[in-house]
Structure 1
Amino acid sequence: MINNILLENIKTQIAMDKYGLYWYQFNEVSGNATDSKGSPYIGTLSNATRVTGWNGEGNAIDFNGSSLVTFNNSLMTYGEKTIVLRFKTSSLNNMYIFENYATNTVNQTGYNLGIKEGKLLMRRFTSTGAGATYAFDIRSTETYNDNQWHKVMFTWNGNINQEAKLYVDDMLVGSQKSTANETSVNFATQNLVMGGCKLTTYRQYFTGQIDDFQVYNKVLTPSDFTIDKTFILHDGEYKKLNPKKPAKESINILPKMVDTNENDLMKVYTNRTMYNPTYVAFDDSNREARTVNRSGTTSIIFTMELKKIKPIIDSIILNFYYVRDIIFYGVRDNGESVELCSSDSITFSNSFIKEFKFNNTEAFSKYEIHLNGGESGEIGLKSVKLIQKYEPYIPAYWSTISNTIPTSTLFLEKGMNTISPLLDREVAELEPLQMVQRNDVLENDEIGKVFSKQIDLKKYFDIRSIRTEVR
């Protein structure tokens, strides 16, 4: 048998594999909190300690009323989002669980999950300055200061007049329609802090414990965290239908960037002060994204972070601006760099286009282009194209998993998540079959023609029509 805690962990892992962006489990023995999804964003603990985690295993963060965990990113995705965490407290104080809208002195735009008189509240700040206005201000009717672990989930798609929802322990406890759209500029302007507010005059420190912080780039519901695994029993064998895989074309997968270094699909940046902004290398304008002019050896690193896809690429096409050599890396989720190609034979000019092809079977969501310009004084790129590796179409096929009743572990590891592929039918029209004279198969005194081929009717779920002709 699989216990409920293990099952809960498996549910989270399945959802994370599909839609997860960040997952802070706080299981480190000491030091900073790190993302198990491999992002570079860390949480720095201040006056906070680790205690046993929500599930009796690993660790959680204990906040004593003057503790903070400060991250170096807002940890909020633009557009569709789901935020999940677990907490417990016995305090009736007004407290912040997390926020990413404030500086030390003033309100900006962003989000706040908090507790007021034991009840949960979730707000989105839309005003800057001393005042505060909200796109929504959701509050629960029940109290949760019972010193028990509770699971909180917040969802919203980022659009005006669409409901933001707050769940506790998989039950909807409040919702409101947003009075404002989220934009790429205002969705979360400040880094996230747990355990209080960054405003020094409005700390509202949290007393209690927080664990298992999750961020997804899709609006989820509690049903998305369920496990329903299936096999098909056929001829004494337990089988699964492996779904078809569509072909992946050999195309440029980078989105066009217009007047911004970051949108909901990608973020681009460099490690140098730029004369022209980084995005011009990605806007099809044929302008150069280049450094400011200065003497001495020049180098630059262009970084691309893809937010919604993780492709396998096997080619890069670059238009160089005064570059002598290049190293191109894919960056794994744990931060490890993998060299994909390099060259020290770039034609040194203000426009030189070259394609680099390489063997690669690994998917990355982050890429780095390291360029060296020698003594040029300026260096940059005029265009960048990442070419997705071609993959052929693979039709659906059956595979046998076991000829005995599968164990619960086998169900979890290899069972089908859905049987919908079994019901995905397509209407197909067969080519007319030639009829020929076949006296050898006709009975005595019968005359006529028959099909020259057999039709395998078992291939089809139903036969809509069969048209016959008499000739």
Structure 2
Amino acid sequence: MNINNRWTECLMSKYGVAWFKMNESSGNILDSKNGFIGTPYNLIYQVEEGINFNGTSSYIQFSDKVIPIGKKSIYFEIKTSRQGNPEIIMTQTMGSAYNGTQINLGSNGHIYFTLGKGVTGSPIVSVTTPLAFDGNWHKILITWDGTTDINGVKMYIDDMVNPVATTTATSLETLNPSYSLSMGRGHDVANRYYFQGQLKNIQIYNDVIDPIAKFNLIRINDKYYTYKNDEFIEIELTKENLKLYGIDLLDMMTTPTDKVRISMEEENRLGNGKEFSKVFNMTEFKKKFGKMKKINEV
């Protein structure tokens, strides 16, 4: 599943708490959303390949909690091949006897998401599923709607449509986390459980997000286009297609620079989407977006 950066920017603008791209070449680990700063210890910087943790002394320590209480989404990408050890990916807690979020790997080859509420053995949430320790990148998304509704907690691996695990929270999360956020090791001095592997593109939200990009319909010379499979596709204008491909806000797809160049204007609204007209000509559009196809050719 390809995660679209433009859509991520949109989600960040609406629900974002922190976005650690983990593409630094040295120094602190920086959040591009709200300016959180992680202090690095013994990391191996791999730029576009993320941050490598050595499994014995690598970690990132924050002075802030970062992950919010209540409803949340946490997305990250992970690569690891060492199986058989409990390892901490990120934590604000020290087990269910403390408050906060923890994501960790188990010695059984599973990944765990736990929300502690200060009562030993009685977490608000505990959900787990097997993870492939195959040395390849895997995309992880964990969401909680902040309620005790049935299956309000979901965990996704690679397939961002169908959760691999769900569970129901036992209570609301009302207390602040016990500790500031740590990545790559735990807070328990006696059992640090260092992580060995790579992390990148860590995104934290204060709502349940859908990481699959939604795009506008665009009108050019009485033809309509949407974005699919990394290219613009000609599509028939129907109410059903507006529901499938339309979105409410032009800001969902455009940066301020793009809006100056594209100069779209809202004309009307049908169904759950909106129709937009295009001011510049087809030649300019092709230069920006490339070859067109009809949707039945895909």
* TM-score, scaled relative to structure 1: 0.47
Per the TM alignment, residue 234 of structure 1 is displaced from its structure 2 partner at its CA by 4.9
One-letter amino acid matched to 1:36: S
Q: Distance in 2 between matches of 1:206 and 1:68?
A: 8
Contact 1:243 1:395 in 2 (8 A): no
In terms of fraction of residues, the more helix-rich structure is 2
1:51 maps to which residue?
Answer: 46
Look up the match of 1:226.
Answer: 213
Q: 1:235 to 1:107 in 2, by over 3 A?
A: closer
Q: What is aligned with 1:190?
A: 179
- Report the CA distance shift for 1:243/1:157 in structure 2 as closer, same or farther (over 3 A): closer
The aligned counterpart of 2:170 is: 179
Q: Which residue of 1 aligns with 2:71?
A: 80
| Alignment CA distance shift 1:107-1:62 (3 Å) | farther
The answer to whether the 8 Å contact 1:237/1:402 transfers is no
Q: Is 2:81 the partner of 1:122?
A: no
Query: What is the rounded CA distance, in whole Å, between the counterparts of 1:154 and 1:179 in structure 2?
Result: 17
| Superposed displacement of residue 53, structure 1 | 2.7
2:219/2:278 contact within 8 Å kept? no
Q: Name which one, 1 or 2, has greater alpha-carbon Rg.
A: 1
Separation in structure 2 between the aligned mates of residue 47 and residue 153 of structure 1, nearest angstrom: 27
- Residue type of the partner of 2:147? N
Unaligned runs of 5+ in 2: 226-245, 251-264, 269-275, 291-298
Tell me what 2:139 maps to.
151
Contact 1:136–1:178 (CA under 8 A) maintained in structure 2: yes
Task: Give the structure, 1 or 2, with the largest relative contact order (CA under 8 Å, sep 6 or more).
Answer: 2
Which residue of 2 is the match for residue 401 of structure 1? 279
* Residues 211-266 of structure 1: per-residue CA shift (max 9 Å, x gap): 11111121113xx432433212455798xx99799xxxxxxxxxxxxxxxxxxxxx
Give the Cα–Cα distance (whole angstroms) in 2 for the partners of residues 72 and 11 of structure 1: 29
Cα deviation digits, residues 314-370 of structure 1 (max 9, x gap):
xxxxxxxxxxxxxxxxxxxxxxxxxxxxxxxxxxxxxxxxxxxxxxxxxxxxxxxxx
CA gap of 1:176–1:46, structure 2 versus 1, over 3 A, is same
AA matched with 1:120: I
Give the AA of the match of 2:22. Answer: F
Tell me the matched-pair count: 244
8 Å CA contact 2:59–2:185 kept in 1: the answer is yes
Secondary structure at the aligned position of 1:29 is classed as: coil
Q: Which residue, out of 19, 22, 45, partners 1:23?
A: 19
Give, in whole Å, the separation in 1 of the partners of 2:8 and 2:189: 35
Q: Answer yes or no: is the 8 Å Cα contact 1:109–1:188 preserved in 2.
A: yes
User: 1:133 and 1:86, CA in 2 relative to 1: closer, same or farther beyond 3 A?
Assistant: same
**Equivalent in the alignment of 1:160:** 148
CA RMSD, 1 decimal:
3.3
Contact residue 237 and residue 401 of structure 1 kept, 8 A: no
Cα distance in 1 for partners of 2:82, 2:69 equals 33
| Cα deviation digits, residues 134-185 of structure 1 (max 9, x gap) | 1121111x332111111111111222245211111124111110001111xx
Structure 1: how far apart are the matches of 2:137 and 2:247? 38
Instruction: Report the CA distance shift for 1:180/1:408 in structure 2 as closer, same or farther (over 3 A).
Output: farther
**Corresponding position: 1:11 with 2:1:** no
Separation in 2, partners of 1:61, 1:226: 26
**C-alpha distance in 1 between matches for 2:23 and 2:205:** 20
CA distance in 1, matches of 2:215, 2:223: 22
Q: Indicate yes or no: 2:97 matched with 1:101.
A: no
Q: For 1:228-377, what aligned pairs fall within 5 Å after superposition?
A: 228-235=215-222
Structure 1 residues 396 and 237: alpha-carbon distance in aligned structure 2, compared to 1, 3 A threshold: closer
One-letter code aligned to 1:62: N
Instruction: Tell me the distance in 1 between the aligned counterparts of 2:134 and 2:109.
Output: 9
Quote the offset at 1:199 in angstroms: 0.5
The corresponding residue for 1:324 is: none
User: Offset at 1:403?
Assistant: 3.5
CA contact (8 A) 2:88 2:183 kept: yes
Structure 1: 5+ residue runs without aligned partners?
Answer: 55-59, 246-393, 412-471
**Shift of residue 410 of structure 1?**
4.8
Aligned to 1:314: none
CA distance in 2, matches of 1:242, 1:197: 41
Aligned residue for 1:391? none
Mapped partners of 1:11, 1:71: distance in 2: 27
Contact 1:102 1:197 in 2 (8 A): yes
2: CA distance between counterparts of 1:408 and 1:132?
59
How many Å apart are 1:51 and its aligned residue? 1.6
TM-score by length of 2: 0.71
Paired residue secondary structure (1:17): helix
